[in-house]
Amino acid sequence: MNKIFKNINLVILLVLSVFSGYGQSENNMKLWYDKPAENWNEALPIGNGRLGAMIFGNPSVERLQLNEETIWAGQPNSIAHEKALKALPKVRQLIFEGKYKEAQDLATSDIRSQTNNGMPYQTFGNVYISFPGHNNYSDYYRGLDISKAIASVSYKVDGVTYKREIISAFEDDVVAVKLSADKPGSITCNVLMNSPFDKTDPVSREDVIMLDGTSSNHEGLRGGVDFEGRAAVETKGGTAKSEDGYIAINGADEATIYISIATNFKNYKDLSVDVREKTKRLLSEARRRDFETIRKDHTDYYQKFFNRVSLDLGKTDAVNQPTNLRIKNFSDQDDPQLVSLYFQFGRYLLISSSQPGGQPANLQGIWNDMLFPPWESKYTMNINAEMNYWPAELTNLPEMHEPFIQLAKEVSETGRETAQIMYDADGWVLHHNTDIWRITGPIDNAHSGMWPAGGAWLMQDLWERYLYSGDKEYLAEIYPIMKGSAEFFLDFMIPHPEYGWSVVVPSNSPENSHGGGEGNASITAGSTMDNQLVFDLFSHTAEAAEILSKDDDFVGKLESAKEKLAPMQIGRYGQLQEWLKDWDDPEDDHRHVSHLYGLFPSNQISPFRNPELFEASKVVLEHRGDKSTGWSMGWKVNLWARLLDGNRAYKLLNDQLGLVGSDGGGSYPNMLDAHPPFQIDGNFGVTAGIAEMLMQSHEGAVHLLPALPDAWKKGKIEGIRARGGFTIESLEWEANEPAKLTIKSNLGGNLRLRTSTKLKLGDLKIAKGENPNPFFKIYPVKEPLISDKTETSKPDLPKFYEYDIQTEKGKIYTFYSK
């Protein structure tokens, strides 16, 4: 075999990398501050998937605001109801007659949930650690080391240096706090616990403090989640005594506080866990291990995931500033390392809020200090919940994806009842929102809630996992869910009387109003996003069946149904239409750009396959503008990356990484995304967007540096994954051009490389025609309908080179620019 394909281990011995000065120092992977947090949006998040804490770092009174992932209001329930079935034909008739406001009002009264609108995610409460006499301090430091998942605080009082280390331990499943000082006998403090729930006063039991309660009643549904928290202290030197609901620590050299929290939640339909036994067991087991052992096991577990990927864009003196100042000054100073930190912070948050066997990250991950938070921190399925998982496969965290896949399985169960009762349809349905009880009917009002395509988007997400892994066992596991979602749409969709296309009705284009009728309604038939989602669902389900060699007749139904779907259309302004009718307004700056789903996260719109749609998508983004809510700007980073415009994507990064502005969006001082208020999806969206700027693989080719901005002239990324079963072991670039690529083939088969520079050839073959990779298929999309009032042109794209390499499973290949 040609030398170009030698194992990377041999290459390293022979070649000195021009990037020998690069490396992702641990010191660069820290958020740090020179003062305590003054509010929640300055506190630092830690989590082990199940237990979350926000660290405030006040020397005199430390506050740990605590969460447990299953504390939600309410209890198992269904919101499906029969009234909807009677109203459905009339709502459809009103929509087809152009009486959108009447249709929306009827859907709100008769199709929307008649009981509740879903339950809120709720805080547990707080642990406070009060230190008498620590009001006057100096040499203050507060930090979060995301390379180890450890928060810390240090300061001086009267010549003594005090230190706190706080972890939410992955292996021991407790929050642990180590208090130490450089002078023996200096640790004197009180540990208290409280909660905003009624009837939750802490009590002392032997050497432990305990607090228990029950989640809230909400919208007529009685709270059913019983929870309990326990705290205990182990000291070296001195004493620790529990009395009157607090623990007094006196004269210790060191003290470790152990906090366990649990609930009676077993799954979405079963509340049978013995909560007291669980908290007692977790606390007892943790207390038998010292902090150093817990910390080592915690960090070892965490780094198995975190260390898979590194990103180096260079660094400047800005790294020496506190993180809040770097965020504040980001647009005005050169700070490429803040981009790397933000990228890795997103991965840190996903590892910390979405662990196998647990709940998926909700609208705030697991971090929430309220009983009734904004949007109730539910799972908003018209983008926000899906955005949380955009980095999972791409940035090499597939295990973190598992809770979201489990959610899909569960809503496919509850959604079957909803489809049957509300619409007399086969399969299963999910609307725009769900919660821990896996409700699937429409909630809120018809403006946002009358959108039955949440299940279709979920299936796109599950299909993406297969594209990265090529795992047929996984595909066989999810195929029945995909088939059930497709069965629903085959039943639910009907012909549009004006156009003849098969459409989803009633629906909307989340969460935007259109110009039809009186111009103040959202309800419609056949929004562009619905058509795109159903196209993907039918295509992917058919391909899955073919791969698994089953359901030939069903595949035929899907292929026939696809032919009846509406094509994407280009409107009078040259824009990709959001609706079947050309209602778009160039002045509309709505945060949702739902009709660009086909550009990202889907791959229906391509500069190579359908340049007219590519250009029309660009017009949409120009009309909507850049500044928006945080998650919207995160989406736009990905969209501009797919439009191959690295400088515009970088401009969106500047907007998002900057401090929260009066017009919304941006980042809080603790680097959490601002809608505002805090929503975690923006963090995850930007993490995915940064990776998309550096590598894309959605068209059957591994495209190197497709949207590299001018500002990132030199850099290196390691460990991200490409569809088709490839891992980018290392991608290095200089002078804005690829310099060296090391890539591992996990499955074997064809690898197509797309790059702006020529590669050293050897066994490389110039790519021609369709990609023969068996794990990835490009679906033809109907030709767009283009208004005769609009001129279209092919995009002005830079020159690309494409090469095919037939790879062997498990082999690593290295390429250099010519």
Tokens 């979060």, residue? 144
Specify the DSSP element, H or E, that contains 232: strand 226-236
- Along the chain (818 residues), what's the average pLDDT of each consecutive run of 10 residues? 32 29 60 98 98 98 98 98 97 97 96 97 98 97 98 98 98 98 98 94 94 97 98 97 96 98 98 98 97 98 98 95 95 94 98 98 98 97 97 98 98 98 98 98 93 98 97 98 98 97 97 86 97 98 98 98 97 96 93 97 95 96 93 96 97 91 84 95 98 96 97 98 97 95 95 90 76 83 83 79 93 90
CA–CA distance, 403 with 137 (Å, rounded to integer): 43
> What does the alpha-carbon distance between residue 766 and residue 231 come to, in Å, rounded to a whole number?
64
Using DSSP bridges, classify how beta strands 433-434 and 765-766 pair: parallel, antiparallel or unpaired.
unpaired
Question: What DSSP string runs through 742-756?
Answer: EEEESS-EEEEEEES
Return d(Cα 388, Cα 383) in angstroms, integer. Answer: 9
Residues 6+ away with beta carbon under 8 Å from 536: 456, 459, 460, 463, 602, 604
Among candidate residues 691, 686, 672, the one with its CA nearest the CA of residue 352: 672
DSSP conformation class of 237: S
How many of the other CB atoms lie within 10 Å of CB of 243?
Answer: 10
Q: What does the buried/exposed string (b/e) look like for 602-626 if buried means 16 or more CB atoms within 10 Å of the residue's CB?
A: bbbbbbeebbbbbbbbbbbbebbeb
Q: What is d(CA 531, CA 368) in angstroms, rounded to the nearest whole number?
A: 36
395 touches 349 (CB < 8 A): no
Local structure of 561: helix, strand or coil? helix
> What CATH code would you report for 34-72+121-307?
2.70.98.50
DSSP of 606-644: -TTT-HHHHHHHHHHHHHH-S---HHHHHHHHHHHHHTT
The secondary element (H helix, E strand) that includes residue 718 is: strand 715-718
> N- to C-terminal Cα distance for the chain?
19
CB 435 within 8 A of CB 119: yes
pLDDT of residue 24: 44
Q: Pairing state of beta strands 569-570 and 785-786?
A: parallel
62 in Cβ contact with 37 (< 8 Å) = no
Torsion of CA 79, 83, 88, 93, to 10 degrees: -140
Token representation of residue 648: 């515009």
**Model pLDDT, residue 662:** 64
Say which residues have a Cβ less than 8 Å from residue 240's Cβ, sequence separation at least 6: 207, 233, 234, 247, 248, 249, 250, 252, 255
591 CB-near residues (< 8 Å, 6+ apart): 628, 629, 631, 632
- The Cα–Cα gap between 406 and 401 comes to 9
Q: Are 459 and 130 in contact (CB under 8 A)?
A: no
Q: How far is CA 385 from the centre of its chain?
A: 6
Give the pLDDT confidence score for residue 19 in this predicted structure: 31
Counting every residue, how long is the chain?
818
